Structure 1
Amino acid sequence: MNNKKVCVVGLGGVGGYLGCMLAQHYDNIYFFARGERLESIKKNGLLLHSDAFGEFTTHPAKASNKADEMGVMDYIILSVKNFSLEQVCNEISPMIDRHTVIIPLLNGVSASGKIRNLIGKGRVLDGLIYITSGANKDFSIHHTSSYGVVHIGYERGNQYDENILSEVQKLLQSANITCVIESDIESAIWTKYILNCAYNVVTAYYKATTGDIRKNKIAIMQLKSLLEEACSVARKLKINIASDLEDVHFKHILQKQSESATSSLNRDITFGRQNELEIFSGQLLESASICQLKIPMTQFFYEELKKVSQFNKYFSS
């Protein structure tokens, strides 16, 4: 694997964690970043504070915002926010040829399809990650969970050589990144999406951590309702989710998740940044409309958070 070129695109909480883990084990890791983050990486490297792996600084083979400087990659891990996806896909095109394997780890349920349409070359897998991590003001990464699990697979109609999945799994697991190959990646993606449609929205609305939510009886009831609504949409779409998924997610949040954890949606809305509310609520509402389902709790949070998001964005600009 040291003969393969790997680029991590997007060095926030998820990409920063993966980039650090990979760069600690391989000499051929490239970082695609911009602005002050790029300058910080060039000057200081990228620092990871991990509850699971300790604290260390890594230096990529090269960090740049110019894809043509880094050349064609064998693997690209794409971990950016959905609202910047089109721009990023255009920027990284020089790093991709027909052999390049692209591993998208974005929120939502349609990222891989969008990437295939935008790039038009390479081999785009389907993927997701479970992790609790974020980027600090100094661009270092905090990883506050004992886990960081990548799931990969092929959606129906997009199969490539099965050996590719095994190669990606080997690449990641050799760097202490757990990687699971899914036989039904669509189900796995929706399983995580349903969790985000409830957890991210509730924590953003209450500006809360998991510990705060556990102390709020109303928030707990709303969380349960949001999970039920998202599951109802998935089942109407014939997604093969677990029959008790609402309860599984509900118990995980109330009993297992770190008390200090919160969501990227909460952080982004609080600081008036562009955010993924449209992915977590807007997209679910569109799917519900297609299915002729009413999801009133989701509708309520969507409308309220849009107001808060616009207000905070105005006063932070």
Structure 2
Amino acid sequence: MKTTIKKLTVIGLGGVGGYFGFKLAQRYSNPEELQISFVARGETFEIVKKDGLRLLSPEHESPIAHPAAIYEEFTNVPGPDMFLICVKEYDLEKVCLALKDKIKADTVILPLMNGVDIYERIRKVITTGIVLPACVYVASHIKEKGTVEHKGNPGKIVVGNDPKNPDYNAQELVDLMKSAGIDIQYKEDAFPDIWTKFFFIASFGLVSARYNQSIGQINELPELRERATLIMEEIKAIATKKNINIPAEIIANTFQKAATFPYSTPTSLQLDIQAKKENTELELFAGAIMDYGKSLGLPVLESTRIYEEIKAGFIS
């Protein structure tokens, strides 16, 4: 299967979509080469439409990029050749339902989101097109509406083949991303990378949210480290049952990774739970583990327990 990407639409201008969307819009300022469009809502839509998208990053001297077009409603988006989906997991189903009728057999969807079940959740709604499993790393966040701030290492994407369309060659996509200065790695199978990241973000996210303790404290305090270990053991059992090729020493590797963060670093789930936000990544982490446990016949007692504690507000 071959496709030619001439129109690319970025959905969501948060930390992830804003960072990668900025790079694409700045590089492809000539829409005849590649037409970059954004989808944003409310005040963000108004600001970016008027003044452009701002990225504060050591990687760019010029902080403003303008897309060829920006839309507030999905119904107004002409069907592009490719969608970059960069939304929170609780908005994913709504986005997929809105896009469903715009997806042709050769439309490419690249979801840049956290979570191990993103591909499956997209495929429940969108059965056609090419969906590329991916893992994304970037330290960026919304500083204010229309402005994204990036610190630390350059953002990175690991992208793999669509299990439903294994013959699709993503090299064209990789080349256009690299031309925009995006660090992207193409692998036949991206699921090991997706699951490896999930070991860290799910276990440390859940324990940090339950106890309001930092990544360094979880690594150091025996009780918290034990709970994180139990969650990782449940994730490992699921990954093994699903034939995901993860390292045997994945749990030790995850704690080593955590030790590279500054001691007082919080997790995003911890911050959202503390702020009592209505929508959080709790379902993305514990919810996914519990769903897999149920469907695969695996006990996930620790993930269920900590999920119920967080839902009940037992934060010490």
Q: What corresponds to 1:203 in structure 2? A: 208
Q: Is 1:266 aligned to 2:273, yes or no?
A: no
Q: Is 1:146 aligned to 2:150, yes or no?
A: no
Q: What corresponds to 1:171 in structure 2? A: 176
Displacement of 1:229: 2.9
- Checking the alignment, whether the CA contact within 8 Å between 1:224 and 1:250 is kept in structure 2 is no
- Checking the alignment, whether the CA contact within 8 Å between 2:132 and 2:159 is kept in structure 1 is yes
Displacement of 1:292: 4.0
- Checking the alignment, whether the CA contact within 8 Å between 1:67 and 1:95 is kept in structure 2 is no
2:248 aligns with one of 243, 250, 256? 243
- Checking the alignment, whether the CA contact within 8 Å between 1:144 and 1:261 is kept in structure 2 is no
Q: Any idea what SS the aligned residue of 1:141 has?
A: strand
Distance 1:186 1:288 in 2: 18
Q: What runs of 5+ residues in structure 2 fail to find an aligned partner?
A: 30-34
- Checking the alignment, whether the CA contact within 8 Å between 1:152 and 1:181 is kept in structure 2 is yes
Displacement of 1:243: 0.9
Which protein has the bigger helix share? Answer: 1
1:77 aligns with one of 58, 77, 84? 84
Across the aligned residues of Structure 1 and Structure 2, the Cα RMSD in angstroms comes to 2.7
- Return 140-149 or 19-28, whichever deviates more: 140-149
- Checking the alignment, whether the CA contact within 8 Å between 1:132 and 1:261 is kept in structure 2 is no
Displacement of 1:10: 1.3
Query: So what's the TM-score if we normalise by structure 1?
Result: 0.85
Displacement of 1:110: 2.5
Tell me the amino acid that sits aligned with residue 171 of structure 1.
L
Tell me the amino acid that sits aligned with residue 177 of structure 2.
L
Is the alpha carbon distance of 1:115 and 1:299 closer, same or farther for their aligned partners in structure 2, counting shifts above 3 Å? closer
Distance 2:223 2:146 in 1: 35
Is the alpha carbon distance of 1:128 and 1:247 closer, same or farther for their aligned partners in structure 2, counting shifts above 3 Å? same
Q: What corresponds to 1:113 in structure 2? A: 120
Q: What corresponds to 2:32 in structure 1? A: none
Is the alpha carbon distance of 1:136 and 1:215 closer, same or farther for their aligned partners in structure 2, counting shifts above 3 Å? farther
Displacement of 1:246: 1.0
Displacement of 1:95: 4.8
C-alpha distance after superposition, 1:252-276 (max 9, x if no partner)? 111x235565433233333313122
- Checking the alignment, whether the CA contact within 8 Å between 2:54 and 2:147 is kept in structure 1 is yes
Is the alpha carbon distance of 1:258 and 1:149 closer, same or farther for their aligned partners in structure 2, counting shifts above 3 Å? farther
Q: Any idea what SS the aligned residue of 2:139 has?
A: strand
Query: So what's the TM-score if we normalise by structure 2?
Result: 0.85
Is the alpha carbon distance of 1:23 and 1:41 closer, same or farther for their aligned partners in structure 2, counting shifts above 3 Å? same
C-alpha distance after superposition, 1:207-257 (max 9, x if no partner)? 454355456554334333332332232123332111111111110111x23
Displacement of 1:94: 6.0
Is the alpha carbon distance of 1:289 and 1:97 closer, same or farther for their aligned partners in structure 2, counting shifts above 3 Å? closer
Is the alpha carbon distance of 1:128 and 1:99 closer, same or farther for their aligned partners in structure 2, counting shifts above 3 Å? same
* Aligned length, in residue pairs: 306
